[in-house]
Chain A
Amino acid sequence: MRSLGQKRVHLQFRNLQFAIWIEAFLALFLILGGYAVTWGAVGCDLNDPDRDVARLFPESTGYKTHYVSIDRKGGQPLLAKIETRLGDKFRGIYETIDVPYTIYEIFANKKKIGYIHGVNQKGQFGGIQVFVVLDLEAQIRGFYIQKMTSKYAGKLRDANFGKQFFGLTLKDFELYDVTSGKASGRVEAIKNPAPEAEADFRAALRATKKNLILMDEFVYSSP
């Protein structure tokens, strides 16, 4: 049987074990948290995720953030597959295989109800950030250009322009040729509100198609 002194020592030991586990847990949390922010290339995040998710997905109660890159998900073969589906090469010094894509997984209570995902796209006068809001069937239910530098940016960022994308899917965008800008089917019906900014209009469509392909590869067709 243990003496009183021994019991005290044992209790001290238990408390110390607990303190050490807390310290170890904190250390692990810090390490994992740190690695999440050590990406190389620039990604596309919502400026204010709490506010933006609530605005883009009004019925949501929470979200989770995931970081995926083509490099980590499938490397060069995946990049080649995405380029084939897009009908265009990844161009420039910033559209690279290691770009980290931020996927916001949206929840209503504990039930997953959709996704928000954004991509960077080269525009005529600056970078364009195009976000699509998708339901679980990969149908667009929201469209948001977070950033665009153009004299006509206001027209392209207008809610009425975004509404033209509602209900479209990747299948619709498969009929859109990003290099020539020729479209058929439902994408053809999307009207450019600023004909003077044709280059930025086409950039927005290319970004949307790229966005949907990436989401298909990362989420919807992913095992």
Chain B
Amino acid sequence: MITKFQVAYKNLQRKRIRSLLTLIGIALSAWVLVSLLGFNQGYENALNKDIDNMGFELMIMAKGCPYEAATMMLKGGTGLKYINESIMEEIAKEPEVDKAFPMLMSAVFDPNKGESGGIAGYFGVEARSFAELKPSLKFKQGKWFTDTNAYEVVMGYEAAELEQREVGDMILMPEKNVEFKVVGVLERTGTQDDGTIFVPLKTLQKIFGRPDELTTIGIKLKKGVDSARLEEKLYKLPDVQVVSLAQVKDTIMKLISTAKVMVLSIAIIAILIAMVGVINTILMSVHERFQEIGILKTIGAMPWDIFKLIWIETLILCAIGGVLGIGLALILSKVTGILIRYVMPYAPSGGLVLIDLKLVLITLAAVLGIGLLSGLYPAWKAGRIRPLEAIRSEVGR
């Protein structure tokens, strides 16, 4: 015996182009919805990873705007002011501190980059402590500096690729005209380290005439300690600013929320268009089968049977459209991530769109729910058709 599902499916096949277009509408809406929700969790996840990759929880820098400085740090830019290296000793005394890492960021103007010149940045670190801070860094070629005063550099993968450098090659610091030997090239990490040129801290301090000065101190906390308490103590140090990376994350997330609201609005509009499409398609189908439904009722079909039949058509359309849309979102998640990265002023490294099983199920449920809601009116209308009136009417009244 033919089931209601089979009847509904055959009905949809009668007007294939119309059903297909409705499916496309639902699929595109589902795609937008799942991509947006995937971006919601992907962005936060990527930001967390970026912050974890920094290897420390607190940053100390000279007084200034903490958010500007921290964002520049994340982007691999330069710090704004300098702090004295002696602060390191005071910080290390605090019981909450596991390790403290000195860093100096410096930049020079390179007049031979493009038509109007460009900035070349350098990151001064202590090889031993930095390697401890970022144990995940792997070398494609070579190793860390041999000496804290050596004129050597370790290059991130993209920096080496842009400069076409390999271990043993020389590199010149423009403006200062200082030559360095490339002793290491890092493997690609997908983080800001890829574009960084690492120089021994003491060497960089010497070249820029800033002995015993730093731009940043990274602090790694002991497990389970109260970060807020340490922050309060560090604020008592003269002329320094304490930036918690959790605080940086919150600020960036707040900035991103505006963009999210705008994209969510677009997603809602897309869903509304899809809803109208479903109502339109099913309503037209009911109109065209006016007499047919009348005959069904004459031979004993109850209003609830007709209602179910029409509702199942909606269900089939939404289920197929939803699955197609989710599939599309999964396949194109990387491309969507690239486009988002292209548009956004700051995007963390790594995948920006994260679609997991939970998200897939939520989206599918939402699409089915919205679809079933859209099918209510056409199904109710079909259920109320009077048999005699329908049989007497012209075809497709």
Tell whether, in the assembled complex, residue B172 and residue A126 are in contact, meaning their CB atoms are under 8 Å apart.
yes
Q: Which of B112, B170, B174, B277 is in CB contact (< 8 Å) with A20?
A: B277
Tell whether, in the assembled complex, residue B287 and residue A19 are in contact, meaning their CB atoms are under 8 Å apart.
no
Tell whether, in the assembled complex, residue B115 and residue A150 are in contact, meaning their CB atoms are under 8 Å apart.
no
Tell whether, in the assembled complex, residue A126 and residue B21 are in contact, meaning their CB atoms are under 8 Å apart.
no
Least CB distance, A7 to chain B, in whole angstroms: 11
Tell whether, in the assembled complex, residue B113 and residue A24 are in contact, meaning their CB atoms are under 8 Å apart.
no
Tell whether, in the assembled complex, residue A35 and residue B164 are in contact, meaning their CB atoms are under 8 Å apart.
no
- Of B92-100, B229-237, B309-317, B332-340, the segment with at least 4 beta carbons within 8 Å of chain A is B332-340
In the assembled complex, the Cα of A132 lies from the Cα of B260 at a distance in Å of: 44
Q: Which residue of A lies closest to B21 (CB)?
A: A20
Interface 1/0s, chain B 12-47, versus A by CB < 8 A? 000000100100110010010000000000000000
Q: Which residue of B lies closest to A19 (CB)?
A: B273
Q: Taking A16-B276, A35-B335, A48-B114 as contacts, is the C-beta distance between A125 and B25 under 8 angstroms?
A: no
In the assembled complex, the Cα of A13 lies from the Cα of B288 at a distance in Å of: 14
Q: Which of A16, A123, A149 is in CB contact (< 8 Å) with B110?
A: A149
A interface residues, how many (CB within 8 angstroms): 49
Q: Taking A48-B115, A123-B164 as contacts, is the C-beta distance between A149 and B284 under 8 angstroms?
A: no
Q: Which residues of A sit under 8 angstroms from B397, Cβ to Cβ?
A: 3, 6
In the assembled complex, the Cα of A121 lies from the Cα of B158 at a distance in Å of: 15
Q: Which residues of B sit under 8 angstroms from A20, Cβ to Cβ?
A: 21, 24-25, 28, 273, 277
Tell whether, in the assembled complex, residue A92 and residue B166 are in contact, meaning their CB atoms are under 8 Å apart.
yes
Q: Which of A1-47 contact B (CB under 8 A)?
A: 3, 5-6, 9, 12-13, 16-17, 19-20, 23-24, 27, 30-31, 33-35, 37-38, 41-42, 47
Least CB distance, A90 to chain B, in whole angstroms: 12
Q: Which residue of A lies closest to B277 (CB)?
A: A16
Best-buried of A5, A23, A47, A123 by chain B (most CB within 10 Å): A23
Q: Which of A94-142 contact B (CB under 8 A)?
A: 94-95, 120-128
- Tell me whether A75 is interfacial, beta carbon within 8 Å: no
Q: Which of B318-344 contact A (CB under 8 A)?
A: 332, 334-336, 338-339, 342
Q: Which of B165, B280, B339 is in CB contact (< 8 Å) with A16?
A: B280
Q: Taking A17-B21, A20-B277, A38-B338 as contacts, is the C-beta distance between A125 and B170 under 8 angstroms?
A: yes
* Chain B, interface SS category: helix
In the assembled complex, the Cα of A23 lies from the Cα of B171 at a distance in Å of: 50
Tell whether, in the assembled complex, residue A9 and residue B24 are in contact, meaning their CB atoms are under 8 Å apart.
no
Tell whether, in the assembled complex, residue B112 and residue A149 are in contact, meaning their CB atoms are under 8 Å apart.
yes
B interface residues, how many (CB within 8 angstroms): 44
Tell whether, in the assembled complex, residue B114 and residue A23 are in contact, meaning their CB atoms are under 8 Å apart.
no
Interface 1/0s, chain A 172-215, versus B by CB < 8 A? 00000000000000000000000000000000000000000000
Q: Which residues of B sit under 8 angstroms from A12, Cβ to Cβ?
A: 276, 280
- Tell me whether B52 is interfacial, beta carbon within 8 Å: no
In the assembled complex, the Cα of A130 lies from the Cα of B51 at a distance in Å of: 38
In the assembled complex, the Cα of A148 lies from the Cα of B110 at a distance in Å of: 9
Q: Which residues of A sit under 8 angstroms from B277, Cβ to Cβ?
A: 16, 20
Tell whether, in the assembled complex, residue A9 and residue B287 are in contact, meaning their CB atoms are under 8 Å apart.
yes
- Tell me whether A69 is interfacial, beta carbon within 8 Å: no
Q: Which residues of B sit under 8 angstroms from A23, Cβ to Cβ?
A: 24-25, 28, 270, 273
Q: Which residues of A sit under 8 angstroms from B161, Cβ to Cβ?
A: 41-42, 94
Q: Which residues of A sit under 8 angstroms from B174, Cβ to Cβ?
A: 149
Interface 1/0s, chain B 277-288, versus A by CB < 8 A? 100110110010
- Tell me whether B177 is interfacial, beta carbon within 8 Å: yes
Tell whether, in the assembled complex, residue B287 and residue A37 are in contact, meaning their CB atoms are under 8 Å apart.
no
Q: Which residues of B sit under 8 angstroms from A55, Cβ to Cβ?
A: 115
Q: Which of B250-290 contact A (CB under 8 A)?
A: 270, 273, 276-277, 280-281, 283-284, 287
Q: Which residue of B lies closest to A156 (CB)?
A: B112
Q: Which of B18, B28, B111, B164 is in CB contact (< 8 Å) with A27?
A: B28
Tell whether, in the assembled complex, residue A146 and residue B114 are in contact, meaning their CB atoms are under 8 Å apart.
yes
In the assembled complex, the Cα of A126 lies from the Cα of B110 at a distance in Å of: 12
Q: Which residues of B sit under 8 angstroms from A19, Cβ to Cβ?
A: 25, 273
Tell whether, in the assembled complex, residue A124 and residue B170 are in contact, meaning their CB atoms are under 8 Å apart.
yes
In the assembled complex, the Cα of A51 lies from the Cα of B115 at a distance in Å of: 10
Tell whether, in the assembled complex, residue B112 and residue A154 are in contact, meaning their CB atoms are under 8 Å apart.
yes
Q: Taking A23-B28, A27-B28, A30-B339 as contacts, is the C-beta distance between A125 and B171 under 8 angstroms?
A: yes
- Tell me whether A88 is interfacial, beta carbon within 8 Å: no
Q: Which residues of A sit under 8 angstroms from B283, Cβ to Cβ?
A: 9
- Tell me whether B299 is interfacial, beta carbon within 8 Å: no
Tell whether, in the assembled complex, residue B332 and residue A34 are in contact, meaning their CB atoms are under 8 Å apart.
yes
In the assembled complex, the Cα of A28 lies from the Cα of B338 at a distance in Å of: 15
Q: Taking A42-B162, A126-B171 as contacts, is the C-beta distance between A37 and B338 under 8 angstroms?
A: yes
- Tell me whether A79 is interfacial, beta carbon within 8 Å: no
For the A-B complex with A12-B276, A30-B336, A151-B172 known, give 17 more contacts whose Cβ atoms are closer than 8 Å.
A3-B397, A6-B287, A6-B397, A13-B284, A16-B21, A16-B25, A31-B332, A38-B338, A94-B164, A95-B164, A122-B164, A122-B169, A123-B164, A126-B171, A126-B172, A147-B114, A154-B112
10 pairs from A and B in contact (CB 8 Å cutoff)? A16-B273, A30-B339, A31-B332, A38-B335, A93-B166, A122-B164, A126-B163, A127-B164, A147-B112, A153-B111
| 4 closest residue pairs by CB, A with B | A34-B335, A125-B172, A153-B112, A127-B164
The interface of chain A, by Cβ under 8 A from chain B, is 3, 5-6, 9, 12-13, 16-17, 19-20, 23-24, 27, 30-31, 33-35, 37-38, 41-42, 47-48, 51-52, 55, 92-95, 120-128, 146-151, 153-154, 157
